[in-house]
Chains A and B, each alone.
Chain A
């Protein structure tokens, strides 16, 4: 093995990092970058007939119809994903804060419990929600007495948003927790000693220090939520279709590859733009945690 080479040569070699990087990076080039390029090519192709394979001909029309026909679906997807992100912050932050400040020796277990749901398949959890929220279940029936006969949870936008929030919740809680964990809470004591109220200390000291976690969590929730289609399938209705549904359907059911590819590219570009803006301000460290 090369390891038996004389160590002098090894120390001065300039190629070490590249050698270490190459397998993984080549894999990513081949199976991430090249495919995206293929997708780009497909998005500018047309199919001569319905069941034939597409040919490349700079068909920009796929993009104009992506906006004209599916603009509404894009907006809906981003609104759902955005709402889910906000809800995940509202639910996840207090929990992360509680674990970080009150967890004591149970911290690891408590944060581990947050992860546990994610070891059962996300699909099965979503189906479980559809069982819990079924129209005839006691709680939903009870609420129907209050809100009127039309009330239901399943097959509404809220069910889909709720599903997205739930399914990606741990992506929010963990980065927030990690950023809170780094805070020296004696700072808040110091602030309190200096006459600040609890809330004041939280707002001035803790919150700003934990913001990187919140931002990282937001991306980690928003991105998968925006492209999801399973929640809409199991918890939604034809009126809650998300862009993921359309892309999946166009690819795997209708084999309209060019249109589907154009829709994917648009989704990717929008999200990448958001990520770039994000990392411009906050760097990529937060994402990796």
Chain B
């Protein structure tokens, strides 16, 4: 599975210059390097083309109901970002679902990660394979099977079922991301803390938690994107509960208002800011 556009395994994982590779790459002809750089620039343009389109069209004043062809410049959409009530409500619902489900998923996923990274026990191998399964199952199958479950149990589809589904696909993801993060962790630090008289609880909060925190943060950010973005699984579990992507899709039959672009742009700008801030903050000597 791994949601549609969802965010990817790791980016907090990458640490610059960790292996001293920065200056290492001198090999290759200057022309080869230039060609590669040019190609990379083209790929970035390709990656950002739809985003540029989305941002530009926040300033469009469409003649019809679809904000998809350019009809003239306006600032109206930015002055009324919440003009479409249904859309705004749906956006709020998406945020709510994301916050609730990643909170649950983070706790459960991190505990799994700690268990897997810190203990040797019967069944750990099986657990690892089991954790990967939801990630390697197409979303449509996850959605369809939950649909069958809820249908069979006469559960009314709605907010709760959407949250259940989102937690489900985030748990594995969090567990694996955090696990990768704590792989190199030196657990004897815990012993040291305890030898110095710290209580287990205190040891956890003072020693263990800070060390796994970056992994949890990375997982949180990416789960957030996974949840906000999810369409397919939500489609099967939503009932009458429309999240932002669902609302956009439903409304697309009759309209595609500029406010969709405005809300998408707001998310975009916030995430870029977070990214720039975090990469600025993390540069020197990160753990």
* Chains A and B in contact, CB within 8 Å: yes
What is the total number of residues of chain A having a CB less than 8 Å from a CB of chain B?
116
B284 to chain A, nearest CB (A): 10
A sample of 17 cross-chain residue pairs with beta-carbon separation below 8 angstroms, ordered by A number, consists of: A21-B112, A23-B111, A25-B130, A31-B149, A99-B40, A105-B17, A109-B275, A114-B11, A127-B252, A130-B68, A224-B139, A230-B232, A244-B138, A252-B235, A260-B144, A264-B144, A287-B176
User: A198: CB under 8 A from chain B?
Assistant: yes
CB nearest neighbor in B for A284: B132
User: B65: CB under 8 A from chain A?
Assistant: no
Interface of A is mostly: helix
Task: Tell which of B1, B3, B5, B17 has the most Cβ of chain A within 10 Å.
Answer: B5
Interface readout for B157-170 with A: 1 if CB under 8 Å, 0 if not? 00000001101100
Tell me the A residues contacting B by CB distance below 8 Å.
1, 3-4, 7, 10, 14, 16-18, 20-21, 23-25, 27-28, 31-32, 34-36, 38-39, 41-42, 91-92, 94-95, 97-105, 107-109, 111-125, 127-132, 134, 136, 166-171, 173-175, 177-178, 181-186, 188-189, 192, 198, 201, 216, 219-220, 223-224, 226-230, 244, 247-248, 251-252, 257, 260-261, 264-265, 267-268, 271-272, 275, 279, 284, 287-289
Query: Known: A185-B25, A284-B132. Contact between A127 and B176, CB under 8 A?
Result: no
Interface readout for B263-286 with A: 1 if CB under 8 Å, 0 if not? 011011001100110110011000
Contact A38 B229 (CB under 8 A): no
The answer for the CA separation of A101 and B165 in the assembled complex, in Å, is 39
Interface readout for B112-153 with A: 1 if CB under 8 Å, 0 if not? 101110110100100111111111111111101111110110
Chain B residues 7 to 29 lying within 8 A of chain A, measured CB to CB, are 7-11, 13-22, 24-29
The answer for the CA separation of A174 and B13 in the assembled complex, in Å, is 10
The answer for the CA separation of A289 and B171 in the assembled complex, in Å, is 15
B270 to chain A, nearest CB (A): 8
User: B207: CB under 8 A from chain A?
Assistant: no
The answer for the CA separation of A102 and B25 in the assembled complex, in Å, is 8
Task: Tell which of A3, A17, A183 has the most Cβ of chain B within 10 Å.
Answer: A17
Taking A95-B40, A112-B278, A252-B236 as known contacts, 7 extra A-B pairs with beta carbons closer than 8 A to each other, sorted by chain A number, are: A3-B201, A25-B127, A123-B249, A178-B14, A186-B20, A275-B132, A289-B180
Query: Known: A27-B168, A103-B16, A288-B179. Contact between A39 and B148, CB under 8 A?
Result: yes
Query: Known: A17-B115, A102-B33. Contact between A284 and B129, CB under 8 A?
Result: yes
Contact A18 B201 (CB under 8 A): no
Contact A121 B228 (CB under 8 A): yes
The answer for the CA separation of A120 and B244 in the assembled complex, in Å, is 11
A20 to chain B, nearest CB (A): 4
B119 partner residues in chain A, CB cutoff 8 A: 16-17
Contact A38 B256 (CB under 8 A): no
A170 partner residues in chain B, CB cutoff 8 A: 5, 7-8
B36 partner residues in chain A, CB cutoff 8 A: 94, 97-98, 102
B4 to chain A, nearest CB (A): 4
Contact B138 A268 (CB under 8 A): yes
* A97, A118, A265, A289: the one within 8 Å of B229 (CB): A118
A183 partner residues in chain B, CB cutoff 8 A: 19, 21
Query: Known: A18-B121, A271-B137, A287-B136. Contact between A175 and B69, CB under 8 A?
Result: no
Contact B200 A24 (CB under 8 A): no
B109 partner residues in chain A, CB cutoff 8 A: 24
The answer for the CA separation of A229 and B235 in the assembled complex, in Å, is 11
Query: Known: A107-B16, A174-B10, A174-B11. Contact between A35 and B57, CB under 8 A?
Result: no
B271 to chain A, nearest CB (A): 4
A113 partner residues in chain B, CB cutoff 8 A: 44, 47, 275
Query: Known: A132-B53, A288-B176. Contact between A279 and B132, CB under 8 A?
Result: yes
User: B37: CB under 8 A from chain A?
Assistant: yes
Contact A121 B53 (CB under 8 A): no
Contact B2 A174 (CB under 8 A): no
* B37, B51, B115, B129: the one within 8 Å of A21 (CB): B115
B212 partner residues in chain A, CB cutoff 8 A: none
* B27, B111, B132, B264: the one within 8 Å of A188 (CB): B27
Contact A31 B138 (CB under 8 A): no
Contact B14 A288 (CB under 8 A): no
Contact A91 B46 (CB under 8 A): yes
B245 partner residues in chain A, CB cutoff 8 A: 121-124
Closest 5 CB pairs between A and B? A227-B138, A122-B5, A24-B108, A35-B145, A288-B176
